[in-house]
Chains A and B, each alone.
Chain A
Amino acid sequence: MAIKPLLTKDFATENLHQLSVYEKTGGYAGFKRALEMQPDELVELVKKSGLRGRGGAGFPTGNKWGFLPKGMYPRYLVCNADESEPGCFKDRYLIEKSPHQVLEGILIASYAIGCNLAFIYIRGEYLPQTEALETAIDEARQAGYLGKNVLGKGYDIDVILHRGAGAYICGEETALLTSLEGYRGEPRLKPPFPAVKGLYGKPTVVNNVETVCNLPHIVLNGADWFAAIGTPTGRGTRVWCMSGHVNRPGNYELENGTPIRELIEEHGGGVWKNRTLKAFQPGGASMMVLLPEHLDVALDFDAIQKAGSLAGAGAMVVMDETTCMVDAARRYVKFFHHESCGKCTPCREGTFWMANLFDQFEAGDAKPGDIDLLLDIGYNIDGRSFCPLGDASTWFPRSVIKFFREEFQEHISEKGCPFKKSVQEAVA
């Protein structure tokens, strides 16, 4: 399949983060074109393009915009740059390399939904990226893309860059809004959905960084052009964040529908150290593990779901034969335990309990019943938690128990991790 990067096509250009360079590559032409259109036309265009959100849930972007109740103002757009899903680092890359592309996408989305004040919620750990965006905003303001009556078209727009302070849950859209309002980042009940009652109780759209980066290209090239890329249910491209046991980890923008094999073997240069592939995990920490037999599954929301996992936020964590799957699951479970906001009982207590059990496996103190106990705790968390964080905390460990149960048993019978020895040798 021919790969034509959209978002990253100019990323080799030096100093792309500077406004003048970005403009030379065609930057802000999309925004200018958008300003010539009616906002409703833009919403229709994006609906027609089939663009689906890149933040994890894959919700059609145009439809989300269409949910805003008529005549209710002010409205807000919040760009979700909280990227904290373990395994994901694409938004960071998109911001670092081309902060103006992000900004242009935000301006287009804001204009389309009739918003005059947009926010970027960026995770606290992304300090250099915060600085890059801040500079871009200043440059854009000076160039007249931002502020009152932009480009003389009678449209006012300002963007506030808001820095988080360390909380994965703030990536979840309602928690993000709560956090942006100054509170603890705890998710809110839905309904009401943010489109109806979001930031400060006003209609709000939350869109991921990568999602908005698509907009300038869709506006410039048209819905049909975009719809022709990718698969019928997954238009366009995605930036995949490859990490783990491959030769060339990093971000790769690929057309949707590309086989996973191509990502790992061609772009990633295959499994490192001439070892064999044991498992991989698409989507990020939350998602279920897949096996070598799934290598020919397409990089596409629906195809990956059919295979038993989820495309999520576009991570691809590759694990070779030496990987202790129990330890990998342990790290994720400890992550969710650390990041549980504590609002609801199953996630708060359940992740704590699971983390304790996993430590017990690691320490060699686990008992035979503990594998089923883990599954049962997972059952009591999944689908019962307040927000998807709790649910997702159980998906990877349960899928690992399903496919690699014998590794758990070995941890019990060998009173510890059968893979650890190599590590100890390496440190010594």
Chain B
Amino acid sequence: MATVQTEQVTLTVNGQSVTVPKGTLILDAAKKIGIDIPIFCSHPKMAPVAVCRMCLVEVEKMPKLQPACAVYVADGMVVKTTTEQVNKYQKGVLEFLLINHPLDCPICDKGGECPLQDQTYQYGPGASRYQFDKAHFDKAVPLSDKILLDRERCVLCWRCTRFSEEISGERELALIQRGVHTIIGTFNDEPAKSAYQGNWTEICPVGALTSRQYRFISRPWDLDRTPSICPGCSMGCNIQIDARNNKIGRFQSRENLAVDDSWLCDYGRYSFPNFQRQSMERPRVRRDGRLEEVAYEDAIAFTVDALKRAGGQAAGWASPADTNEELVLFRRLFREVLRSPHLDHRSAAVPDAEPDDMSLAIADIERLDCAVVLGGQEVIDAAPVLHLRLFKAQRKGLTVLKVGAGQVAEAVAGVRPDCTVVGILATEANKAAAVELQSKLQRKVKGSVRRLLVTTGPNGRGAKDLGILPHLGPGYASLNGQAGKGRTEWPGAGLRALYVHESSPLHGFTPSDAESMWLPTLPLIVFHRFKPSPLDEMAHVILPGHAFTEKDGTVTNMEGRVQRISRGLDADWVLEDWRVFQEIANGLGAGWAYESVADITAELVGSLPPYAALNRGERVLWSEPG
């Protein structure tokens, strides 16, 4: 692709010269040379509105102060951000904002990370000269089961309403009334239904919109913050795990422009209580029908013995929420040590996976001219933040065609032949239809057609790439006739042991009816997991494992981007899951000597070269996408 040469302009800000592309806002040009201009309403993802007036600066030759958040640079522009006039006025705006603000910082969830508080400290007036009753509004209005609104703290920056209009397109939040009586709200204060409400709390520059779950749990400065990946789905949105005293307070977004564009969905964001460990568990082994607590060594020895007996008739189920590193060892344990081909991570039979399933990158949705969402809302529900990317692209001119999973003919008819890049989005369950549509469209349109299949769990893609499948090896390599049975075929396949590894209660092993009949007949069930579940009742060995939020490693999202997850909570008494695999393998005579997760990662990159992408945070490209 030819790079487009954008015109550059040079201006000075506070005497410092800076060169930026034409079309840059004064605010961003100043930021580039480290000059911060205070803002409330401005947001990089939203069109400028210039309503808060905090960012007014002097621009030579312009009679009035200009909003830096809404005025574009021009060649030779002379901007001053710290003159007496500007400073006086910044005090003025803050004073205006505070006259109707409750100043209840000590009990506000935003306290400590509040731009209003910070800017008042930095630029604000001393004491207020306002001596009247403040305008009173409702406090603690429940906007939904997730969000509380404090109308007194609201500074009417329009960020939340713009999010509702420009980012999610739901137009659920609106400004109501006018003038000093203006408030934000849903229609008639009816409960909000948006799937993206948590974002409102992050963009709100004050403590007006807060999460009900997080309320008063902690002050921001008390939090331990760990960068990680959302465990919710295969989108792989980047998060920060905020915890205090080993308790999760919240998941916050951590912008990755290529993936989440800085947003999270409520399903993912508010899934964090599922990852709160409730008890200090120890391994257990079933003896005389009763589960007894034992030391790790004993549990492992018991497992080794039992697996030895099962050998090639042991089946292994790894969850789509396991890390790639765990999956590498899990596969080696089964394929190399136990010599069993019965490996799976899926819950249902789905069509074969292949690298072409991710030929379309998430961010490239913005470069399509038509996107077919095969399965409609079902696809969005499987990875909700996809909707935000689609909507963003739609506002820039993308045509989005939502059709039922079976409506291939309708989809073909709906795509204009002159399209240059068409994308197909579907869940992996509907792969066959997606492939059919792709080949039909390829014949119809003049440009290229790519697809992106939504996989399961935060690492279903990794599980496929690494061969946690009965019939394919790492890198989709053929097993040369050595294929085993997939999970749905296990009941009745004459198996003698089942090892279930589960890292997330959101993507666990939920027995089907057939499995419920079959499980009690098995001589050995090893259940290696983070949280108690009904499967405990049937297990012979229970090995506590680490949750998705308690470990280090990498996971691969639906588009093949390999991203790191990190330990946000401690559970030191739990032996790391990969060590358990290694000790079992070694008990079976393997002689592995991994010392850390990093060792495994290095081996993974070495043995599967496309995974070298992980060191760059990039996508695994199995071949040049078509």
Which A residues contact B (CB, under 8 angstroms)? Answer: 167, 184, 189, 337-346, 348-353, 356, 360, 373, 379-380, 383-386
Contacts and interface: CB of A to CB of B under 8 A. Distances in A.
B96 A342 contact: no
A385 B53 contact: yes
Interface in B127-154: 129-130, 132, 135
Contact of A338 (B100, B177, B179): B179
Nearest to A340: B179
Given A189-B48, A189-B49, A342 B130 contact: no
A353 B53 contact: no
Contacts of B327: none
B65 interface: yes
Nearest to B48: A189
A380 B130 CA distance: 14
Nearest to A343: B51
B180 A346 contact: no
Nearest to B91: A380
Given A341-B178, A344-B53, A345-B97, 13 more contacts: A339-B179, A342-B178, A343-B49, A344-B52, A345-B51, A348-B180, A348-B182, A349-B96, A349-B99, A352-B180, A353-B96, A380-B89, A380-B92
B70 interface: yes
B156 interface: yes
A184 B89 CA distance: 28
B93 A345 contact: yes
A386 B92 CA distance: 15
Interface residues of B, number: 34
Contacts of A386: 50-51, 53
27 contacts: A167-B178, A184-B175, A184-B178, A189-B49, A189-B70, A337-B179, A338-B179, A339-B179, A340-B180, A342-B177, A342-B182, A343-B51, A344-B51, A344-B52, A344-B53, A345-B51, A345-B96, A346-B53, A346-B92, A349-B99, A349-B100, A351-B180, A352-B179, A353-B130, A380-B93, A380-B96, A383-B63
Interface in B76-98: 88-89, 92-93, 95-97
Given A342-B156, A349-B99, A373-B129, A383 B64 contact: yes
Contacts of B287: none
Contacts of B156: 342, 345, 348
A169 B496 CA distance: 79
B179 A348 contact: yes
Interface string B329-357: 00000000000000000000000000000
A223 to B, nearest CB: 32
B96 A350 contact: yes
Contacts of B70: 189
A360 B133 CA distance: 12
Nearest to A338: B179
Interface string B168-212: 000000010111111000000000000000000000000000000
Contacts of A349: 96-97, 99-100, 180
A339 B178 CA distance: 8
Nearest 10 CB-CB pairings of A with B: A380-B92, A349-B96, A342-B182, A352-B180, A342-B179, A340-B179, A356-B132, A383-B64, A342-B178, A345-B96
B27 interface: no
A189 B50 contact: yes
B463 interface: no
Interface of B: 48-54, 56, 63-65, 70, 88-89, 92-93, 95-97, 99-100, 129-130, 132, 135, 155-156, 175, 177-182
Nearest to B93: A345
Contacts of B97: 345, 349
Contacts, number: 89
B113 to A, nearest CB: 21
B547 to A, nearest CB: 45
A384 B179 contact: no
Interface centre among B129, B178, B179 (most CB of A within 10 A): B179
Contact of A384 (B53, B135, B177): B53
A384 B89 contact: yes
Contacts of A341: 178-179
A379 B92 CA distance: 9
Nearest to A188: B49
Nearest to B129: A373
Contacts of A356: 132
B543 to A, nearest CB: 59
Contacts of B52: 344-345
A348 B182 CA distance: 9
Nearest to B63: A383
Contact of B53 (A345, A351, A379): A345
B510 to A, nearest CB: 48
Contacts of A344: 50-53
A373 B2 CA distance: 59
A241 B102 CA distance: 44
Contacts of B56: 384
A386 B96 CA distance: 15
Contacts of B92: 346, 379-380, 384
B584 to A, nearest CB: 64
Contacts of B100: 349, 352
A350 B52 CA distance: 13
Given A184-B175, A353-B99, A383-B65, A342 B181 contact: yes
Contacts of B63: 383
A350 B179 CA distance: 11
Contacts of B53: 344-346, 384-386
A337 B93 CA distance: 17
Contacts of B96: 345-346, 348-350, 353, 380
Nearest to A342: B182
Interface centre among A342, A360, A386 (most CB of B within 10 A): A342
Contacts of A353: 96, 99, 130, 132
Contacts of A350: 96
Contacts of B177: 342
